[in-house]
Amino acid sequence: MSRVVVGMSGGVDSSVTAALLVEQGHEVTGVYMKNWSQDLPGMKCPWAEDLADAKRVAVQLGIDFKVYDFEKEYKEQVVQYMIDTYKDGRTPNPDIMCNQEVKFKLFLEAALADGAEFIATGHYARTENGRLLCAKDDNKDQTYFLYRTQKSALEKTLFPLGNYTKPEVRELAKAHNLYTAQKKESMGVCFVGQVGMREFLGQYVTTEPGEIIEKATRKVLGKHDGALFYTLGQRHGLNIGGGLPYYVVGKDMVKNEVYVSTDLNDEAMWRQNLELGSLHWIGDVQGDGEYEVRIRHRAPKVRATLRGTNLQLSEAQRAPAPGQSAVLYAGDECVGGGIII
């Protein structure tokens, strides 16, 4: 059996991951990645509780437990990336950057230096000879967030939950009597718990109020507190009362204006042709060709043709926001993707 270092976040998924590896006879060490510990006004960061929960599970399983402190690197490589992208008027995905820069780079390097042969995480995905494959549970599949990993990292990674559904994982947690069996899934910003993106960004960027304008009539419908807080297709948080719901169909960062429409068929809301930046390929399948693409987590895959950095979708998709990722699949294999421009 192998020496495996498991990333334990204090949640049920990583707890079951560790339990399964112990059950399989591996020499397991649990590691809590301390990526963020800063409290925000009126909002306490849950890192200490999560660390305590991870420790409790490690004690239950009888495995060694450590803390890796990546807070400095995380702030520089994930949080600052997220802030800069929002300030540029685009919509980033910090979970993808965290996987690229922290979990499958810093964590992997630290674990290997610690004597590990493999790392493991609680992601719902599968690997096979460095290939990234979709999970059994299509609803929980997390390959969308993992598409920027390297083949060399995947060759050193185990995803024990890849062949389980979320309900099955919950049952396994109960069967192993794990402390985290009933713990709810975390929501909100990935690294600060129950905090909305607007509240988080408000601590780091200075914004000016501006106008919310109806695209068709140019009529001013209301005020916003910063154009960077709004993303294409957004409906909630506009505070425009009465009649049909309005959707964000564009914004001008220079003028600090947000444009809205009640027309769900507005051409700005639908795109069939995407230009991709920062293309990343995992393994041998790469370059021009026919693929399936997912433009957001849990979105259905659609057929697409890639030519260079241009992605032509078989049918128009609603609100593919600049800054988000288009992830490419060849059958069950996630082969890479790029960031929507």
Separation CA 327–CA 281 (nearest Å):
10
Separation CA 30–CA 13 (nearest Å):
13
Question: What is the identity of the amino acid at 158?
Answer: L
* Residue of 45, 98, 134, 334 marked catalytic: 98
- The H-assigned helical ranges of 88-189 are 94-98, 107-113, 143-146, 151-154, 166-175
| CA 178 to chain CA mean position, Å | 26
Separation CA 228–CA 231 (nearest Å):
8
Residues 6+ apart with CB under 8 A from 236: none
- With contact defined as beta carbons under 8 Å apart, do 147 and 33 qualify? no
In the residue annotation, 334 being an active-site residue is answered as no
* Residue of 45, 134, 190, 334 marked catalytic: 190
Separation CA 253–CA 207 (nearest Å):
11
In the residue annotation, 134 being an active-site residue is answered as no
Strand-pairing partners, residue 275, are 310
Separation CA 36–CA 39 (nearest Å):
9
- The H-assigned helical ranges of the chain are 12-23, 47-61, 71-74, 80-87, 94-98, 107-113, 143-146, 151-154, 166-175, 197-201
Active site residues: 98, 190
